[in-house]
Chain A
Amino acid sequence: MPETNFPVTGVTSPRAVANKSEKMHLFRAIRMALEIQSPAIRKNTQTFNNNRYRAVAALPDYDLLKDHAREIKEQSIANLPQLLTRLEAAVSAHGGKFFLASNANDACQYVLKVCQQHGARLVVKGKSITTEEIRLNHVLQSAGMEVAESDLAEFILQVADEQPSHIIAPALHYSRERITALFKRKFQTDLRLDTGEELTRFAREHLRDKFLHADVGITGANLIAADTGTLMLVESEGNIRMTSLLPPVHIAVAGIEKVIASRAHMAPFLELLAASGTGQKLTSYVSFLSPPLDDPPFTLPGRARKPREFHLVLIDNGRMRMREDSVFRETLYCIRCSACLNSCANFQTVGGHAFGGETYSGGIGGSWEAGTGKLENARFSDLCTGCSRCVNQCPVRIDIPWLNENLRNRLNRTAHLSVTGGTLASLTSLSEEDQGAAAAKIFFGNYHWFAEWGTRFAWLSNAVANSRTARWALERTVGLDRRCALPPFPRHTLIQTVNRTHTPAVNVPVAKVALFADVFTNYGIVQRGIAALAVLRTLNIDAELTESVPEGRAALSQGLLAAAAEYAKRAASLLDLYVEAGRDILVLEPSSLAMFRRDARHLLDNDELFERLRARTFEPIEYIARLFRNHGRDPAEVFDVARSPVGSRLFYHSHCQQKTIGCAAPTEALLRAVGFDVVTSSVECCGMAGSFGYKKDYYDLSMAVGADLFQQAHEADGEGSPRTIIASGTSCTEQLHAGLNREVLHPIELLAAIIRLPAA
């Protein structure tokens, strides 16, 4: 594999595509990542991801720890100005120096001045992404100092001259083989460097000397306690301990958001950070230091003995402005654990050189880049599909998709303003119209218009959808990739079909529900709606079909927030009428359901209405499983697996948002209770993610993400007959169909087909 040249993409170095204010850089970075970095990234992120699931499951009070951590961060950011004053006093009382830098340049100049005062020639650094943000190395090196990155990942990046691709494992895009090739080339060595041990030994020996001779050590800090000035430093290699304990001068550089009120408040973060980051109980070393320490620094013979000196350099660099922003304030709660990166299907496939900017990457990365730089730097956050898999993984409960939807909204609006002038602060109002969005955004965000008209003229629209000319035109105008098969529009919508059929009322119903005619069911997979009604009827549930209105999901995912809010409000008022009439609401499409159970909290401006709907809205199988349980009934009394027209071996892929709101497990359990042999997918997302995979720009990425799912389906088949593919979401159905070329059923269709016949 080529090491320095990327002939296919023409990208000569990841640095060349770090700044993504030009969209072309994003596309080139995706290509580069898919061609070169993807195998290592997939392996490493998925290892972190699996380890995290295991580690948090082992924490008995995981949810309480998260609540506690969130509360501490909320309070700390709210009280930040007072905490900074208290911290300054605490650091000074210890004999340390405190400096608050308003921007990157101030911070770098201060550090430079301290280093120069000490005549520093060699500065050793622990991993600090914040010093990457302010480009500190560049400033120190320009002044003639040697800067030695001592974290092995940062060491690799320094040798390769690349930006980090991950918040806690900055060189995670490098496979062992590529590191070997890099070191061989750069160090011109004949040493054997063919194993992790050999590479580590080589780097250790190179760096041990640096620690012992360093004039200044620079670290970051994971948290800082305002009451005592204590730094919490988390690591595994021992390099941060070396950096903070050996040289006479220690400078800690951190963002102001790292400050919390007290040392006692650090308690919940130890386990949360380790579990959420690397999936460990604790990393090898977690230090709590209130520098400067009392014992003398390490001094080799021939060097002057110096007393210890400590400087705490805190950086604003846009953070106070983020704090004033009602949406992006949440970013400051981030403890940089990387759970949102590792749980993201797109990130797992391309990593942070594509899904990232000059410093920060992944789901939360866009908000950091926009907040500490320019809004345009967050353009890569387009790779957040809103699948929401990160939401439950965030140890401080940041709603990361919502941040990215807001970034998209503000980027949409800058598209027709001056392209360089947009900052977060200048664009905080959500009330403006979603003007300025590109045609593609408007197409995908208002899919229901097209669906409605498509269905009305189904014969024509299906012919158009299959016409090469029309597909070329759609690709050119709205970016709909011509390689994507489009789901055919049905001749009759769900509502039309139901209205044509006379169905007698249910006598003495056990429950009354309204089935929401979501756009994807009404104008798309009509048969799952029919099946749901049949199953409900069999169970003596009185079901009414609502009218079909968009709930705002499509608009939300395009960042068309004004439209999303309008749709969500309209749909919520409609459903609320049914709730008032004593009906529970059932929603087939998981992304629509997730709107009422999760996202609408941001859009309705009415918490009471949101909570009411949230409590009364269900996925249909989740709902019937509850009824079975409440009535102590066995689902096998109603459903007979022997009647299955597709056998009893299933491969079930639940929808990403369905998993997040906890509606996947009931379907799996019910299918098993009925007697099916079910293998479930373990991918975070199928890669289609609503409209994402339909877009020309992202089609290849979407299919690359889907590869894991397709492989799992094949593996599940094993030696036996192919399993029947079952999926709950519309876009997952399309993706599975495209990747496997097999029929895909909704679980409710399967259940409807195996209803036991009444005893003769």
Chain B
Amino acid sequence: MSSLADTFTTNAREAAAFVERVAPSPDELRDAVRRSTQDTSRIVLGPCEYLPAALRDSLHELPGVVAKPSDEQLSTADVGISSAFAGVASSGSVCIAMGPPLAAAASLLMPLHIVFLAADRIVARPRDLFDSTSLGGEALRRNLVFITGPSATADMGPLVRGVHGPHRLQIFLLG
């Protein structure tokens, strides 16, 4: 495993994300999702534009995937699935691009957020994404969110994980 992926894994776990390495095959991906969700889960598939088409299509076969969810269904679903535009090693963050339908909702509304991240899209530091030569300079043009661990607060006294955003962040590292 490259050192960037190692650093990413360490730091993402430190930020209370769950990280697992998964081979980029349809079966492996579906198994990985099933392991982290219950089969009864209602799953919302985000655009997953950074997954190869074959992998992306295979996710539709998962049990529990809500095809074309209404906004009401979005508000009650259990799992959102995204693919990351990029990962940041130093902070263990995943970057999700917003814009296509469901991209924002799948990374925000459900208690469990599953993210697929290709290991070759990991950069060293957050600032690297502001370089026009990094990942085609796309980070300078798109609406993005850097996600580091689950939503959290210390406003109620002790640190609590799981506030308005997802309570659990599961990252599957591909490649």
- Interface of A with B (CB < 8 Å)? 44, 47, 150-153, 156, 169, 171, 174-177, 179, 195-197, 199-200, 203-204, 207-208, 211-212, 228, 236-239, 241-242, 245, 263-264, 266-268, 270-271, 280-290, 293-296, 298-301
Nearest chain-A residue to B101 (Cβ)?
A: A295
Q: Given A284-B150, A286-B145, A288-B143, is A267 in contact with B71 using a C-beta cutoff of 8 Å?
A: no
Q: A468 CA to B30 CA in the complex, in Å?
A: 83
Q: In the complex the two chains form, is B155's CB within 8 Å of A171's CB?
A: yes
Q: In the complex the two chains form, is A301's CB within 8 Å of B72's CB?
A: yes
A263 proximity list for chain B (CB < 8 A): 130, 140
The one of A228, A266, A293 in contact with B99, judged by C-beta atoms closer than 8 angstroms, is A293
Q: In the complex the two chains form, is A301's CB within 8 Å of B163's CB?
A: no
The one of B108, B140, B159 in contact with A242, judged by C-beta atoms closer than 8 angstroms, is B108
Q: A368 CA to B163 CA in the complex, in Å?
A: 31
22 A-B contact pairs sorted by A residue (CB < 8 Å): A47-B154, A152-B153, A175-B157, A179-B156, A196-B157, A196-B160, A200-B160, A203-B156, A204-B164, A238-B165, A270-B146, A271-B90, A283-B148, A284-B150, A284-B165, A286-B146, A286-B148, A287-B143, A287-B145, A288-B143, A295-B98, A301-B71
Q: In the complex the two chains form, is A267's CB within 8 Å of B127's CB?
A: yes
Q: In the complex the two chains form, is B99's CB within 8 Å of A207's CB?
A: no
Closest 3 CB pairs of A and B: A238-B165, A176-B157, A267-B130
Q: In the complex the two chains form, is A200's CB within 8 Å of B153's CB?
A: yes
Name the distance in Å between A298's Cβ and chain B's nearest Cβ: 5
Name the distance in Å between A581's Cβ and chain B's nearest Cβ: 49
Asked if B82 is at the interface (CB within 8 A of a chain A CB), the reply is: no
A212 proximity list for chain B (CB < 8 A): 75
A179 proximity list for chain B (CB < 8 A): 156-157
B166 proximity list for chain A (CB < 8 A): 238
Count of chain B residues near A, Cβ 8 A? 51
Q: In the complex the two chains form, is A237's CB within 8 Å of B104's CB?
A: no
Q: A88 CA to B162 CA in the complex, in Å?
A: 37
Q: A430 CA to B104 CA in the complex, in Å?
A: 53
Q: In the complex the two chains form, is A264's CB within 8 Å of B92's CB?
A: no
Q: Given A270-B127, A284-B149, A285-B145, is A156 in contact with B155 using a C-beta cutoff of 8 Å?
A: yes
Q: A282 CA to B154 CA in the complex, in Å?
A: 15
Q: In the complex the two chains form, is A281's CB within 8 Å of B11's CB?
A: yes
B71 proximity list for chain A (CB < 8 A): 298-301
Q: In the complex the two chains form, is A196's CB within 8 Å of B158's CB?
A: yes
Q: In the complex the two chains form, is A237's CB within 8 Å of B164's CB?
A: yes
The one of B104, B144, B148 in contact with A281, judged by C-beta atoms closer than 8 angstroms, is B148
Q: In the complex the two chains form, is A264's CB within 8 Å of B151's CB?
A: no
Query: How many A-B residue pairs lie within 8 Å, measured between CB atoms?
Result: 162
Name the distance in Å between A439's Cβ and chain B's nearest Cβ: 44
Q: In the complex the two chains form, is B153's CB within 8 Å of A237's CB?
A: yes
Count chain B CB atoms within 10 A of each CB in A44, A239, A267 and give the residue with the most: A267
The one of A271, A281, A285 in contact with B147, judged by C-beta atoms closer than 8 angstroms, is A285
Asked if B2 is at the interface (CB within 8 A of a chain A CB), the reply is: no
The one of B70, B152, B154 in contact with A169, judged by C-beta atoms closer than 8 angstroms, is B154
Nearest chain-A residue to B166 (Cβ)?
A: A238
Name the distance in Å between B81's Cβ and chain A's nearest Cβ: 17
Q: Given A238-B165, A245-B108, A281-B91, is A288 in contact with B157 using a C-beta cutoff of 8 Å?
A: no
Q: In the complex the two chains form, is B156's CB within 8 Å of A176's CB?
A: yes
A285 proximity list for chain B (CB < 8 A): 145-148, 151, 165
Q: Known A-B contacts: A237-B153, A266-B130. Give 5 more (CB < 8 A).
A: A179-B157, A270-B127, A281-B91, A288-B143, A301-B71
A293 proximity list for chain B (CB < 8 A): 98-99, 104, 143
A296 proximity list for chain B (CB < 8 A): 101
Name the distance in Å between A341's Cβ and chain B's nearest Cβ: 15
Nearest chain-B residue to A263 (Cβ)?
A: B140
Q: A237 CA to B153 CA in the complex, in Å?
A: 6
